Amino acid sequence: MTSNDVKPDDLEFAALLCSRVCHDVISPVGAIVNGLEVLEEEDDDEMREHALLLIAKSALQASAKLQFARLAFGASGSAGAEIEIDDARRAAEGLMAGGRITLAWDVKPGALHKTRMKLLMNLVQFATGAIPRGGELKIIVENGNDGMVLVATGDRARVPEHSDLASGMSLDAMPDSRAVQPYLIGLLCRALHASLAVSQPMEDGPVTFALTYGPDAENITGMIG
């Protein structure tokens, strides 16, 4: 590959994606560091116990975020690999543990090609932006080869910012750091010949994310690394 083959926007997108992962894990890792500092400096048993609890909780959070990022942003498995939906469920529930959003799964046991799994994981996290005050996110996957539906229900639900990028529109516009995930969703949709429709028929009502695959999706899936 020559230097002319590398687009500045591609490099910027890679940097933004790395920043997104770092942003997600820096908080629990920082809390672990703070807890260790307390253990080194404090002799008070109560303070030391509090620090140990903080370290344990933060370590679990960091692990959950990294497990999720591995499926959502990484290259899990080898080329052509399939990943069990149960793995996605555990990773997503670990990410949401202790938060204001509960996940309701309506899925059948099975596996998805790793690129489709990547799309599902990003959709789950992106869809939580529809219910910033908390609520329920229902994930419906009857057949992962046909598509999937996510429904976000909660107080003051709204269509997340930059949903036009996730729906496959304006992909030539380079996003800012807040738009890196919907931009990635749009890229994955294009790669999989998929279409994403984000809708909210009633104000403050449920927000629906409906993903469908085009007729060429089956042919292209095996070609994606």
pLDDT digits (tens, 9 = 90+) for 12-30: 888 888 888 898 899 999 9
Asked whether 89 and 110 are in contact (CB, 8 A), the reply is no
The residues near 17 (Cβ < 8 Å, ≥ 6 apart) are 73, 180, 184
What is the spatial distance between Cα 92 and Cα 73, in angstroms, rounded to a whole number? 13
What is the spatial distance between Cα 183 and Cα 169, in angstroms, rounded to a whole number? 9
Average pLDDT over residues 30-57: 93
Asked whether 85 and 112 are in contact (CB, 8 A), the reply is yes
CATH class of 8-221: alpha beta
What band does 224 get if pLDDT is binned at 50, 70 and 90? Answer: very low
What band does 3 get if pLDDT is binned at 50, 70 and 90? Answer: very low
* pLDDT above 70: residue 61: yes
Torsions phi, psi of 214, nearest 5? -80, 175
pLDDT score for 15: 85
Q: What is the mean pLDDT of the chain?
A: 85
Residues pairing with 136 in the sheet:
102, 153
Sheet strand arrangement including 135-141: 101-107, 135-141, 147-154, 207-213, 194-199
What is the spatial distance between Cα 183 and Cα 13, in angstroms, rounded to a whole number? 9
96-119 residues labelled b (16+ CB within 10 A) or e (exposed): beeeebebeeebeeebbbbbbbbb
Supply the pTM of this predicted model.
Answer: 0.84
Q: Name the residue with higher pLDDT: 225 or 147.
A: 147
What is the spatial distance between Cα 95 and Cα 122, in angstroms, rounded to a whole number? 12
Closest CA to 66 of 11, 98, 20: 20
